[in-house]
Amino acid sequence: MNPSARKPARKPVIAGNWKMYKTIAETESFFAEIRPLVAGSAHCDIVIAPPFTLLRRAVEAAEGSGISISAQNLHWESEGAWTGEVSAAMIRDAGCRSTLIGHSERRQLFGETDEGVSKKIRAALDAGLQAIVCVGESLAEREAGDTEKVLERQLSGGLAGLTGQDFSRIIMAYEPVWAIGTGRTATPEIAQQAHNFIRSRLGQAGPPEAAGRMRILYGGSVKPGNIQGLMAQPDIDGALVGGASLEAKSFAAIVNFRA
């Protein structure tokens, strides 16, 4: 069976990663502006991942809009003497439904490892959160021809020991580091190739049906102008959007990619 052929069964996900941007007032105006723009957008799941300080306010501001709120990171312990950290239970308590895990900025700038990613996935799933797990190669790794090797390592390390049921609560995001914040998007064909590779590896790590059902998002300079070409690819099920998610109009245009 070719898992890619199951795309129609996979509901698209358009997720915005706000990184370290926005105040409470800016969050309120963002949601006031975007709500009418996505009111009819039932074709996809819409997610926004604000910084921790904004989570509760974002949950309130998004209530009834169909937009769900995600954290950007978590700690794997449920509580304890971990100064500066936030647990999955706390994120859930704030009203979030999901959390990003293993974003390349966490891996590159804060020393996050595949082992840490694996523990964070377990903690998120155990607390009832959906995990949006990011993988992707750097420019040097791509140029050295190591893209698949890197993805393989991140997938086998990060997803070790997960069951088919766990798989159903994970969304993958392929984010080539060289395309993040650089304006240099992977072409739809390059992205499709990586997504197809990720899906085939997922099919080996877990039940093939679960791999066929898993949503794999592309991230890296996604804009209103390039979303359609990406979404036309058989293994691309949505987008993780950084810069273009900060403006309600551009994020809504990405959400409404079919219009």
The correct pick among 72, 219, 227, 230 for binding ligand PGA (CB under 6 A) is 219
Q: What is the DSSP letter of 82?
A: -
- Which of helix, strand or coil describes residue 7? helix
**CA 127 to the chain's CA centroid:** 18
Residue 180 as a binder of ligand PGA (CB under 6 A): the answer is yes
Active site residue 103: yes
For residues 147 and 250, which CB has a smaller minimum distance to ligand PGA in the complex? 250
H or E stretch including 130? Answer: strand 130-135
Q: Is 242 in the site for ligand PGA (CB under 6 A)?
A: yes
Q: Using the rule CB under 6 A, is 136 a contact of ligand PGA?
A: no
Q: Is 75 annotated as catalytic?
A: no
- Asked whether position 112 contacts ligand PGA by CB under 6 A, the answer is no
Size of the site for ligand PGA (CB under 6 A): 13
Q: Which of residues 6-65 bind ligand PGA (CB under 6 A)?
A: 17
Q: Which stretch binds ligand PGA (CB under 6 A): 5-13, 33-41, 113-121, 217-225?
A: 217-225
Among residues 75, 103, 137, 141, the one annotated as catalytic is: 103
* Residue 241 near ligand PGA by CB under 6 A: yes
Q: Which segments of 86-137 does DSSP mark as H helices, in order? A: 88-93, 104-109, 114-126
178-195 as b/e, with b when 16 or more CB fall inside 10 Å?
bbbeeeebbebeebbbbb
CA distance 254 to 56: 25
B/e letters for 208-243, b = 16+ CB within 10 Å, e = fewer, are eebbbbbbbbbbbbbebebbeebbebebbbbbbbbb
CB of 219 to ligand PGA, least distance (A): 4
| CB atoms inside a 10 Å sphere around CB 37 | 15
Which C-beta is closer to ligand PGA: that of 241 or that of 248? 241
CB nearer ligand PGA, residue 37 or residue 246: 246
Footprint of ligand PGA (CB under 6 A): 17, 175, 180-181, 219-222, 240-244
Active site positions, annotated: 103, 175
